[in-house]
Structure 1
Amino acid sequence: MGGWTLVSARLVAGSHRGGGSGAAGECLAGLTCVDERGLFEALLPAGPPFTYYLHADWLNASLDLDDPYRFPPLLNADELWHIGEGSHRRLWHCLGAHPGQLDGVAGTRFAVWAPNAKRVAVLGDFNLWDNRRHPMRLRREGGVWEIFLPGVTVGMAYKFDILDWDGQLVQKADPFAFAAELRPATASLVSVLPSAAGPAVPVGGLHQAISIYEVHLGSWRHGPTGWLTYRELAHSLVPYVVEMGFTHIELLPISEFPFDGSWGYQPIGLYAPTARFGSPADFRYFVEQAQAAGLGVILDWVPGHFPEDPHGLARFDGTHLYEHADPREGFHRDWHTLIYNYGRREVANFLSANALFWLEQYGLDGLRVDAVASMLYRDYSREEGEWLPNVHGGRENLEAIGFLRQTNHWLGVERPGAISVAEESTAFPQVTRPPEHGGLGFHYKWNMGWMHDTLSYMRRDPIHRRHHHDQLTFGIGYLYGENYVLPLSHDEVVHGKGSLLGKMPGDDWQRFANLRAYYGFMWLHPGKKLLFMGGEFAQQAEWDHAASLDWHLLADSRHAGVQALVRDLNHLYRDTPALHRLDCDPAGFEWTCHDDADNSVLGFVRCDGLGALVLVVCNFTPMVRCNYRVGVPAAGDWREVLNTDSSHYGGSNVGHGDACSEPVGWHGRAHSLSLTLAPLATQVFAWQAP
């Protein structure tokens, strides 16, 4: 304008006078109100950009303001390109709320992906939740809205106010928020991101002993006021898990979620540890304390679906941005949740980056990925006509398969010491094979078939077990097609299924003996181990997410005995390479007796490939079996190292003790042992090399 510049400034709506001053406080110009919603203008001499401040007379107050619109664009062209391509592995560095300084001014930069919105503004305590105060700048090339707000500090609540595609005003929590208000409040909180953890340290790959204690933090134990905090759990849960001999803690989902009864499996804030137990810093402290004590920490991660809560991802900008528009692809009938559109690059990026976020920023040692089967198949839990086939006419969800491969590839490159575990209940092939070899790239898969078969067997009265012997032996036939975890998870002690102890038949003595024998069979069987909290001391009642475990049961010697057994099984498993080194290799296992259905007896040998041998014999009837002969692969002394019928565990103390082989051919072997088999018990013998 001929040596003049027209300057527009947004002040507080309702201001009746405004002005501008320079960095030294000198008056630059008076501002003229051109819109009652707070828009003022002035003419200034043309020149290069400079620092200035705004003043507004509003109601009975005089306000000094730092104009957020004087700052340059926040995201650079490369960041916007990667966002659009869905290839930004650390997407959380670009989007969300990041407190810091810009041009020497303290504040917070905000950025949100909402490409179809007509307007987006930041609301918060800092602007009295007035959507006229801080509309954001649209970066069209990435569909991202951004703004830097001076003076906004850590701990302040905020939301995004979106004029969506349909012209409706909606208020959304930040998908990338690092912290959130405690439910029922729904705002995001400005939070400092924990400093990135060091590189994950490889700990032996498939050869390592892995025994996982699965925990719901809200119901493990209660304090005087209810939940324990992350810091309290660091000093109570962590020492307990260490003392019990487990190698890992697996946490049910802790990404922020609105409904307690979902147990965390319907998350809204994927980048925020739930405020139920403390702050992000408190959660980081918990992880650090667990790792300092020698435990790995695995997080249950939910990329398969999300709830419809209005402050969440559903119809985020007035379109089906994160989910499929067609309910035959985008609505999960079982859980009444929405399904991510994995074929949209930005959505897959949002999720894959989130997986890396937890491992990198909090130093977690692995992820257990929930409900993988529901992601892999378009017809999962759907009848004919309720689903859409893929581009080839098949039922596989090709986009979800690509997303899982991408995620596991990213984790393998960026966090090579971490593990990923799939909860996958179908026969989908190569779940634990690398993506470059056509697999999904997981390290392990839950062995749901083994769990269902063996629990079905254990529920039966011992007199009928002879007719179902194959339920114990069948799993070995497919065991080495994948790398497996044997799971006794939370899913088996809810929804009317009862506790593990409650599944066992017989009188009280038999129920406890059955459970001890089953635990012995599980811990000695090939495969990594997982046990849900409470199972280690034979919790009587079905799990209740709103109540503490029944710790008073440990005053009963039977429950204390089961706890002692699980502790000893863990230490035996960890200290004996033959029980874990070749878990995923058929060379580490051989049957000695698999066909004695009439007596419901099993025998097998575990080995480490270096000469160590461990014999396991299970008697799943309440009868003592004297002079029971078992073939062994090596002559010499066999020392009894564990007997689940020991009085130390609440048993009857029947057993054989140490045994010496005899040159009597049996089970196809030149030498054998003559043993006394305890009732409803698993006995373990270690070969003593000469």
Structure 2
Amino acid sequence: MKKEITSASSQLAEQLASVRVSQPFSVLGCHSRDKGAQITAWRPDAISIQVEDLHGNKLGQMLKLDQQGLFELELESIPTAYQLAIQYSDSQVVDIDPYQFNELAFEGLAQLHEAPQNLYKTLGAQIKSVELEGNTISGVKFAVYAPSAAAVSLIGDFNLWDGRKHPMERSIDGHWVLFVPGLEAGCKYKFEVKDPHGNQLPHKTDPVGFYSEQYPSFTSIVWDHSQYQWNDEHWIASQHTDKRKEAMSIYEVHLGSWKRKQEQEGKGYLSYRELADELVNYVKDMGYTHIEVLPVSEFPFDGSWGYQPIGMFAPTSRFGTPDDFKYFVDQCHQNNISVIIDWVPAHFPSDAHGLARFDGTSLYEYEDPRRGWHKDWNSYIYDFGRDNVRQFLVASALIWMDEYHIDGLRVDAVASMLYWDYSRDEGEWVPNVDGGNHNYEAISLLKWFNEEVYKQYPHAMTIAEESTAFAGVSRPTFDGGLGFGFKWNMGWMHDSLDFMQKDPAFRKYHHNEITFAMVYNYDENFVLPLSHDEVVHGKGSLLGKMPGDEWQQAANLRAYTAFMWAHPGKKLNFMGNEIAQASEWNHDTSLDWHVLEYPKHAGQQALVKQLNATYKSSPALYQGDYDTRGFEWIDHNDWERSIVSFQRNGIEDQQTIIVVSNFTPLVRESYRIGVNHAGRYRVILNTDSEHYWGSNADCGIEFEAEQIGWNERAYSIAVNLPPLATLYIEKVV
């Protein structure tokens, strides 16, 4: 009898030692037997094990069945709970056996598909507690989806990264689970996964992890989200649901290079808490309404700027802990600043510790490289038709509103999701079922994502970076659209920048580039972006794009900036643009803040600050961005003199602001502008002012409308237009 037990146990011990057991709950822990109960424990390298109840009372000495570490004890009855007093060669430890918590380990899996957010409330590392024998047993429940894996083990600093010690249990639908008593926030872990053929893969970080270390370990870290106390209740309650009629001036920021510490500590990054002080105060002082942060989802490579994410549920630890990031958002809200983050569901990197071939198969990516590989970015494309991927991505979006109180998500590279042939030549892509190039699966996912965000967080918003003419990006899904709240106007950005880069002498031949955006302005809810993409990869800075000598460059930039702030559409300005940084953006260094010592740069900063103040206090400049009543061309045909003039109208009040841009270095004296009504008109902003390093050419301050018909209007005013300048002229009520 003893020999038979030894033979069977040796076989089991060998399977456990080689990490080939997928159902450890069936062989480990406490099980009823005909004559009572049997406890089986697997503790590699243990010398002896004593079984105790949770009060330390001895229940019996375990029999060592195999030298590799398999132990057994037979009892007359099943204990409510037990712990193991384990003797090693150099230490003694007391562990509550994780293999007695079968029900707790599987908790929540049955409800996973009831709501997307159940995914991040069930999977990953969840801190749990249970009451047994008058004791509160706390620990961490781990769950990871790897349906094709032959075996999965939990490894971490708590078991010396030994894959033998904590084999996980496979559920019927492919989730691997285990509750480990005694673990708490801060412990480090990964998953040791074996592919379907039993080959061990590189150690994997938690796909639903909340916190992780940086290079070289990329280790996941257990985090307790319940500890942070928010102070933004009044902010959340004050937020309106229709952002289209609100002022929106967005400061786009790369947290790692906005400002760095003078005395380098590592890379000199400011922490989330330091940014909550310095960046938030700066943005508030400049008058921006929103901060948009380049992706903060955990990512392995600094040079990707976050656009190659791996931890879709975790803010990067480069700048601090998840609670530190919450503090940053909290401080933004307490200073009346909304927070938008870039969210990247289009692709993910091939780093071995991440999602790629997670269980030895294409669990997250399309198998066929003609669908599953971005050659431009050397990254995998999510399989948007798989249910696990769809749940994963939508849940990863919702957690930012739920746990981090984010106000909006800007979705990167939407065009690459919508089209199978995006950046692919003939023969490099597979058509859809109808023979076309639309990715129906991605379209369906984006619609569902938007519906979930607006249903659960109606005060939040979604923004698409979509560079094609795909119809209805910012239209509701019930109206056939994708459901985004807003869309970046890439056409306006490229056309207007192309116009501004022309020598003023030749701009008249390209006049339509500065006016064309109004032809399609009401097709979408547009955001006008001057983003990071325009000041990298050899494109130079915005200032550097402007033609002419030093003064003309600065004047061009000022005139263009004010033109943008008055044009229909919400505003987005990348960091550094507001100080007319001369050098191209470099993610490895701070912005060139020292240039503010010079009036050219200080003048641009002062102008942007004044533009934000004027914009926020002038409903005519934002209420009617997407309403035909909010905009009137006065004259878009004066191509010969490269002058455009238009009128912005308030929707809920009678405010009127006339905008005139002179895109030549010539003063246009007594330039007549048609107006709708008699009365007085006053200049409220002039980019040629000496306050902004302008020439301060005399254009006048107030004008009385004359009954001289002009621009198909009954009245007009005559204004001396300064060189390379934009004027805002308000009707004095």
Q: Does 1:622 find its partner at 2:665?
A: yes
Is the Cα–Cα contact under 8 Å of residues 86 and 348 in structure 1 kept in the other structure? no
Counterpart residue number, 1:100: 128
CA distance in structure 2 between the aligned counterparts of 1:497 and 1:683, rounded to whole angstroms: 29
Aligned mate of 2:199, from 168, 178, 184: 168
Structure 1 residues 411-431: Cα deviation after superposition (integer angstroms, max 9, x where no partner): 111100001100000000100
Q: Does 1:53 find its partner at 2:83?
A: yes
CA distance in structure 2 between the aligned counterparts of 1:200 and 1:378, rounded to whole angstroms: 42
Counterpart residue number, 2:14: none
- CA-CA distance at 1:27 after TM superposition: 2.4
Aligned mate of 1:80, from 98, 109, 120: 109
- CA-CA distance at 1:360 after TM superposition: 1.0
CA distance in structure 2 between the aligned counterparts of 1:596 and 1:2, rounded to whole angstroms: 97
Counterpart residue number, 2:686: 643
CA distance in structure 2 between the aligned counterparts of 1:447 and 1:375, rounded to whole angstroms: 18
After TM superposition, where is structure 1 displaced by more than 4 Å over at least 4 residues in a row?
A: 194-201
Counterpart amino acid of residue 54 in structure 1 = L
Is the Cα–Cα contact under 8 Å of residues 37 and 132 in structure 1 kept in the other structure? no
Is the Cα–Cα contact under 8 Å of residues 196 and 361 in structure 1 kept in the other structure? no
Aligned mate of 2:45, from 4, 14, 20: 14
- CA-CA distance at 1:45 after TM superposition: 1.4
Q: Does 1:398 find its partner at 2:440?
A: yes
- CA-CA distance at 1:355 after TM superposition: 0.7
Counterpart amino acid of residue 311 in structure 1 = H
Counterpart amino acid of residue 109 in structure 1 = K
Aligned mate of 2:217, from 175, 185, 191: 185
1:317-336 residue pairs with structure 2 within 5 A?
A: 317-336=359-378
Structure 1 residues 1-47: Cα deviation after superposition (integer angstroms, max 9, x where no partner): 43232321122x12232221223323222222234432211221144
1:264-663 residue pairs with structure 2 within 5 A?
A: 264-609=306-651, 610-654=653-697, 655-663=699-707
- CA-CA distance at 1:353 after TM superposition: 0.8
Q: Does 1:679 find its partner at 2:717?
A: no
CA distance in structure 1 between the aligned counterparts of 2:387 and 2:68, rounded to whole angstroms: 38
Q: Does 1:205 find its partner at 2:243?
A: yes
Is the Cα–Cα contact under 8 Å of residues 116 and 394 in structure 2 kept in the other structure? no
CA distance in structure 2 between the aligned counterparts of 1:386 and 1:87, rounded to whole angstroms: 36
Counterpart residue number, 1:27: 58
Is the Cα–Cα contact under 8 Å of residues 82 and 88 in structure 1 kept in the other structure? no
Structure 1 residues 85-126: Cα deviation after superposition (integer angstroms, max 9, x where no partner): 484333110001122323321211111111111111111110
Counterpart residue number, 2:297: 255
Structure 1 residues 378-430: Cα deviation after superposition (integer angstroms, max 9, x where no partner): 11000111111112211111111111111111111110000110000000010
Structure 2 counterpart SS, 1:381: coil
Counterpart amino acid of residue 60 in structure 1 = D
CA distance in structure 2 between the aligned counterparts of 1:89 and 1:124, rounded to whole angstroms: 26
Structure 1 counterpart SS, 2:475: coil
**TM-score under structure 2 length normalisation:** 0.91
Counterpart residue number, 2:20: none
CA distance in structure 2 between the aligned counterparts of 1:328 and 1:418, rounded to whole angstroms: 35
CA distance in structure 1 between the aligned counterparts of 2:292 and 2:480, rounded to whole angstroms: 28
Aligned mate of 1:66, from 88, 91, 96: 96
- CA-CA distance at 1:81 after TM superposition: 3.9
In the alignment of these two chains, the number of paired residues is 684
CA distance in structure 2 between the aligned counterparts of 1:21 and 1:626, rounded to whole angstroms: 96
Counterpart residue number, 1:138: 170
Structure 1 counterpart SS, 2:63: strand
- CA-CA distance at 1:82 after TM superposition: 4.3
CA distance in structure 2 between the aligned counterparts of 1:250 and 1:374, rounded to whole angstroms: 21
Structure 1 residues 613-632: Cα deviation after superposition (integer angstroms, max 9, x where no partner): 11000000000000111111
Is the Cα–Cα contact under 8 Å of residues 200 and 416 in structure 1 kept in the other structure? no
Is the Cα–Cα contact under 8 Å of residues 172 and 312 in structure 1 kept in the other structure? yes
- CA-CA distance at 1:518 after TM superposition: 0.2
CA distance in structure 2 between the aligned counterparts of 1:74 and 1:46, rounded to whole angstroms: 22
- CA-CA distance at 1:359 after TM superposition: 0.7
Structure 1 residues 621-645: Cα deviation after superposition (integer angstroms, max 9, x where no partner): 0000001111111111110000000
Structure 1 residues 45-85: Cα deviation after superposition (integer angstroms, max 9, x where no partner): 144x41111122222322222100111323667x43443x4
Structure 2 counterpart SS, 1:598: helix
Unaligned runs of 5+ in 2: 1-32
Is the Cα–Cα contact under 8 Å of residues 299 and 306 in structure 2 kept in the other structure? yes
Q: Does 1:218 find its partner at 2:260?
A: no
Aligned mate of 1:117, from 149, 155, 174: 149
Is the Cα–Cα contact under 8 Å of residues 99 and 153 in structure 1 kept in the other structure? yes
CA distance in structure 2 between the aligned counterparts of 1:602 and 1:385, rounded to whole angstroms: 46
Is the Cα–Cα contact under 8 Å of residues 106 and 177 in structure 2 kept in the other structure? no
- CA-CA distance at 1:201 after TM superposition: 4.7
**TM-score under structure 1 length normalisation:** 0.97
Percent of aligned positions that are identical: 51
Structure 1 residues 113-159: Cα deviation after superposition (integer angstroms, max 9, x where no partner): 1111111111111011111111111111x311111111212111110
CA distance in structure 1 between the aligned counterparts of 2:563 and 2:71, rounded to whole angstroms: 77
- Larger mean CA deviation between 93-102 and 35-44 belongs to 35-44
CA distance in structure 1 between the aligned counterparts of 2:280 and 2:42, rounded to whole angstroms: 52
Is the Cα–Cα contact under 8 Å of residues 151 and 198 in structure 2 kept in the other structure? no
CA distance in structure 2 between the aligned counterparts of 1:381 and 1:152, rounded to whole angstroms: 47
Structure 2 counterpart SS, 1:127: coil
Structure 2 counterpart SS, 1:227: coil
Structure 1 residues 316-348: Cα deviation after superposition (integer angstroms, max 9, x where no partner): 011100101110110001000000011011111
CA distance in structure 2 between the aligned counterparts of 1:436 and 1:293, rounded to whole angstroms: 36
